[in-house]
Amino acid sequence: MFLFRRHQPRVTVGRALRRTSGGRPDAVLLDVREQPEWEAGHAPDAVHLPLSRLLAGSTLPPVAAGRTLLVICRSGRRSLEAAKLLTERGARAVNVEGGMIAWAAAGHPVVDERGNSGRIA
């Protein structure tokens, strides 16, 4: 039996969208970008917890606790770090490949803090 995984699990943006939207999502999209990035544009159904707060010991928002977390950032680097940290803390966390750059490039919705069309900062 292996105690440690060699690679953090990952998911495409298309699969992340399917798993986190609609009437019965089976996972939560957790955006770990900082506040200004989040305000400029994020996925409509995402939950926000900046990596800096996660590293400082913040707990997950109640809506995300106990659920599979699909972790996203701008490009995939910070979300990989966050997914590893969350996994070490006992969460089921999966990195979203390519981050919000890939999300927007795939034509998936991006909204700003007011719910209007957003941009990736």
Which helix (H) or strand (E) covers residue 35, if one does?
A: helix 35-40
Classify each residue of 34-55 as buried b or exposed e, where b means 16 or more C-beta atoms within 10 Å of its C-beta: beebbebbbbeebbbbbbeebe
Q: Which two tokens stand for residue 111?
A: 């909204």
Instruction: Check if 74 is active-site.
Output: no
Name the catalytic one among 49, 73, 82, 96.
73
Q: Residue 29 gets which letter from DSSP?
A: E
Positions annotated as catalytic residues are 73
